Amino acid sequence: MKIHKYIYWVPTSILVLGFIGGGAVDLLKLPDKVEEITTLGYPVYLMTLLGIWKLLAGVTLGLPRLPQLKEWAYAGLVFDLTGASYSHISSGSSADKVAVPLVFLALTILSWATRPESRKLKGTFVMMSRNPEPDAARVPA
């Protein structure tokens, strides 16, 4: 079971640090980041909004419990990372600029898929039933 903890915590720690740091960089509007976002065709003021969202997502993933908020954070990361990759593809960026958000997307999926029970939202999404018996309410009489 210990390996499962590492499989969860290593990518989650990278995400927490990456998104808290990335959010801070966006909020500080560092020159390199300003140049990157304007090259992609976005206004500089968008950095404030993205920075706040990234900070909130990073903090949320690092905190214990809060399963519903974590689901929103994971969804937000998926939107942010797929949007970043698509933006780089659309603007003709180099392959490394396209790949970095996709690597973070893979870490996000791994973190979400291996999260402990205390960090999961109960009873909202079931991929496969463990009970082979059909639900009595669904079986026609």
User: Using CA atoms, how far apart are residues 130 and 26, in angstroms rounded to an integer?
Assistant: 44
User: Using CA atoms, how far apart are residues 57 and 51, in angstroms rounded to an integer?
Assistant: 10
Residue 44 predicted with pLDDT over 90: yes
In sequence order, what are the residues at sequence separation of 6 or more whose Cβ sits closer than 8 angstroms to the Cβ of residue 132? none
Q: Which has the higher per-residue pLDDT, 141 or 108?
A: 108
Residue recorded with tokens 């304007």: 38
> What is the reported pLDDT for 122?
82
Residue 135 predicted with pLDDT over 80: no
Residue 33 predicted with pLDDT over 60: yes
Residue 138 predicted with pLDDT over 70: no
> What is the reported pLDDT for 127?
53
Residue 140 predicted with pLDDT over 70: no
Q: How distant is the alpha carbon of residue 81 from its chain centre?
A: 7
